[in-house]
């Protein structure tokens, strides 16, 4: 599933074309893409046609596009396989195309933005914007202190300027759950995901099943440093792509998969000590770690 780096790459690619553009037409090819929208496909198109988008914003793995002169936004979630693709006006339909926005930008002219989704777990909706409780910007891409109601429960991510490090430390300290489970709890910290949790825990030399509340203060500090380093590196490398389902707005894959130290390396030697990386079941996913470097305390 796309996480912070992948969704941020998409956001950054959409922003120059969509921010400031006017939506000329909306075509819904598959209403399953509107499962989070409170109305019909017709109401979705009517609410957006003729409106202008002021920005492209992200928190965690959610995107939203605030509408100018409005307290509403288009909110999107890519799900397992959702793609936001930037295309020339009139371009042929994409495979698995669900929704198309025909837009007109004052600098770039007529363009098309396509939401394609093979597995149909992603979604788009028109949603109300709410003030942020801390009065800080809602997310990356805008300085406005508003967030869609569907995203309000999602915590800030570790790269957000308004991320509350003290609250994060406190949440870890009072938790009796495995530290990896806490890292994946989007109400505590957003955007990390399974891949980046494994990579961060490997970097910090922390076993994924260590009780979060048992971590020493210096270990939490080291873990947070590793989380941010992993996310920054993944961003610089365009995210992680294992197949054709995650691509940027131009259809290009990220290459962070080549930099992985733990995730997906079952049986391969640890890059620090040479011990084979192991894989264990974790809820409905897997954890990858070095049994020597990341001993369970």
Catalogue the active-site residues: 2-3, 61, 285
Beta bridge partners of 197: none
CB 198 within 8 A of CB 208: yes
CB 154 within 8 A of CB 112: no
Alpha-carbon distance of 280 to 268, in angstroms, equals: 14
- Is 96 part of any known ligand binding site? yes
CB 159 within 8 A of CB 189: no
Tokens of 284: 């409905």
CB 136 within 8 A of CB 50: no
- DSSP letter (8 states) at residue 87: E
What values do phi and psi take at 72, rounded to 5? -130, 165
Of the candidates 58, 60, 30, 27, the residue with the CA atom closest to the CA atom of residue 45: 27
Tokens of 191: 């955007």
Maximum separation of any 2 CA atoms in the chain, in Å? 59
Torsion over CA: 187, 190, 193, 199 (sign): negative
Tokens of 279: 């894989």
By 3-state DSSP, what share of the chain in percent is helix, strand and coil, each rounded to 5? Answer: 25, 25, 45
Binding-site positions for DNA: 96, 119
Binding-site positions: 96, 119
């Amino acid at each position: 599933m796309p996480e912070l780096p992948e969704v941020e790459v998409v956001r950054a690619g959409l922003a120059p074309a969509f921010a400031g553009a006017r939506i000329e037409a909306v075509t819904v090819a598959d209403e399953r893409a509107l499962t989070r929208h409170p109305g019909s496909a017709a109401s979705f198109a009517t609410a957006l046609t003729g409106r202008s988008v002021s920005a492209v914003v992200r928190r965690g793995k959610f995107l939203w596009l605030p509408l100018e002169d409005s307290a509403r936004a288009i909110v999107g979630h890519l799900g397992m396989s959702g793609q936001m693709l930037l295309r020339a006006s009139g371009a042929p339909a994409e495979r698995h195309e669900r929704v198309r926005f025909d837009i007109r930008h004052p600098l770039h002219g007529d363009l098309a933005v396509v939401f394609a989704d093979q597995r149909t777990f992603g979604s788009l909706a028109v949603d109300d914007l709410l003030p942020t409780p801390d009065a800080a910007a809602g997310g990356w891409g805008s300085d406005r202190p508003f967030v869609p109601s569907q995203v309000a429960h999602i915590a800030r991510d570790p790269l957000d300027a308004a991320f509350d490090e003290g609250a994060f430390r406190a949440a870890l300290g009072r938790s009796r759950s495995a530290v990896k489970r806490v890292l994946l709890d989007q109400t505590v910290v957003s955007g990390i995901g399974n891949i980046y949790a494994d990579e961060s825990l490997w970097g910090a030399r922390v076993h994924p099943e260590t009780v979060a509340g048992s971590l020493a203060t210096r270990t939490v500090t080291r873990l947070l440093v590793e989380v941010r380093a992993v996310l920054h590196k993944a961003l610089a490398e365009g995210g992680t792509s294992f197949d054709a389902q995650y691509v940027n707005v131009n259809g290009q894959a990220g290459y962070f998969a080549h930099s992985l130290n733990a995730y997906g390396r079952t049986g391969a030697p640890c890059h620090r000590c040479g011990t084979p990386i192991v894989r264990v079941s974790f809820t409905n996913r897997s954890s990858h770690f070095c049994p020597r470097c990341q001993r369970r305390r």
